[in-house]
Structure formats: structure tokens, C-alpha cells
Amino acid sequence: MVSEIAEQYLKVVYNLTEDGGVAKTSDVAKTMGVAPASVTEMLQKLSKQGYLKHEKYKGATLKPKGLKIARQVTRKHRLLERFLNDLCGIRGKARHAQACKMEHVLTDDAERQLCRMLNRPSECPHGKHIPKCERGIACEKCTKETVPLVDLGEGDVGTVSHLASKDKDELCRILAMGFVPGSEVRVEKKVPMGGPIIVSLKGTKIALAREIGGALHMVRA
């Protein structure tokens, strides 16, 4: 398992070489805000560990082992930037800085749930491509593994996977109620004739409109 600082270096090298070429020491130093000598030392260390190839006076390119980690971290970072931009309204350097902090602690399961909640975005707010996940299955199949809460029966329990709504205000309301990815929900009662769905969330009973029940996608327990 690599350290957070190593992940950061691999991500920067990935970003600098995404369109081909090599990552120059000076460019890595400028991006990370550290001295070139410190960059050289770290690149040499990562090279010895087999994560990248470093050539003096030329720069660095990722090896397969480093590329896999860099793609995973970059995917998490760009999904987080999408989330912070679209749902939290955070812009500019603050958004980037927050995503940098969160990318190292975001679990793979949470990353998949975040992707589902954002409706499988293909680009980050900067217009850069979001690398595909490592699950090895099509995005459409991944989404089909879930069911809308409204389709669960009384007594059924599920875990919130994602929110299938393009309405930013609706998404914010649902999140504010506590229906975040990973939350366990139990359907207590479904009022007939299109009435609300009574659910339990963290010990509290909540009446949800059918429209919200349709936007909440669940993984059956």
C-alpha cells in the first residue's frame, strides 16, 4: 500500500502525461509546490519501487503498477470535484483542494456509489475525462444492480446506492434528510392510492413522496 504523498505524485505524473510525453521534474515541482530536488528524490524512490520510470534530465512515465494506482486516485478526485461543484456549489481552488484531501480516504465502495449518484459522469468540471472504474463491468449493468426504493416491499431493507435525479434542489433536499449513499433504509409502510412511503432511517420514521422514492436507488439487503 502506497502513502498519500506517493499517490499524489503518481496522480500528478498521470495528469502531466495523460496526452502522451513525459512528466518533467520542473512541471511536477510547479504542480505540487515543492522544490525540484525533493521531486527528483521522490521520483527516484518511486522508480526503484517499480511504479514509474525516471530518467535524469528527461522526466518520468508511469509503469503499469503506478498507472493503475494513478487512474484510481484520479478517478476519485475528478468524481469528487464533480460532486463538490454540482451539489455543493464549491468552485475554483477550494474545490480542488477539498477533492485532494478526500480522494485518499474515499473507499472503492463509496466511489462506486458516488458515481451512481452523479449518474455516471464522463468529465470533471475542468472538462477532463474521468477514468473508468476497475470493476470490469459496463456502467449500465452496474446501475441495473440497484432498484428504486419505491419498488421495495413493506419490511424490505436496502442500502442507498445513488440518487437518480437531475434536479439539483431535489438532490440537496434528499441528502439533507440523511439519505446519503451507504445509509440503510427499511420500508415500514406504503400508503395505498399513491400515498407516501413510510421508511425508517437511523431510527427515525420519515414519510417520503413517491417521486422521492423513485429517485432513491437501493441495493437490496
Taking only the tens place, the pLDDT of each residue in 18-75 is 988 999 999 999 999 999 999 999 999 999 999 999 998 889 999 999 999 999 999 9
Q: Which distant-in-sequence residues (6+ apart) come within 8 Å of 38 by Cβ?
A: 29
**Fold assignment, 67-143:** Arc Repressor Mutant, subunit A (1.10.10)
Paired with 207 in beta bridges are 198
| Nearest-angstrom CA–CA distance, 89 and 62 | 34
Q: Identify the pLDDT of residue 142.
A: 64
Set of cell numbers at residue 219: 441495493
Q: What percent of the chain has pLDDT over 70?
A: 95
Distances (CA, A) of 85 to 95, 122, 141: 7, 14, 27
Mean pLDDT of 85-111: 89
Place of cell 502525461: 17
CB 152 within 8 A of CB 187: yes
Q: Which sequence spans correspond to the domains of the chain? A: 4-62, 67-143, 146-220
Give which of 169, 182, 178, 180 is closest to 211, Cα–Cα: 169
**pLDDT tens for residues 121-167?**
899 999 999 998 877 666 666 666 788 999 999 999 998 888 887 77
Helix (H) or strand (E) holding 161: strand 157-163
Same fold, 4-62 and 146-220: no
Place of cell 526503484: 48
Q: Identify the pLDDT of residue 136.
A: 66
CATH homologous superfamily of 146-220: Ferrous iron transport protein A (FeoA) (2.30.30.90)
CATH class of 4-62: mainly alpha
Considering only CA atoms, give the Rg of the chain: 21
Set of cell numbers at residue 146: 440497484
Q: Is the pTM of this model over 0.75?
A: no
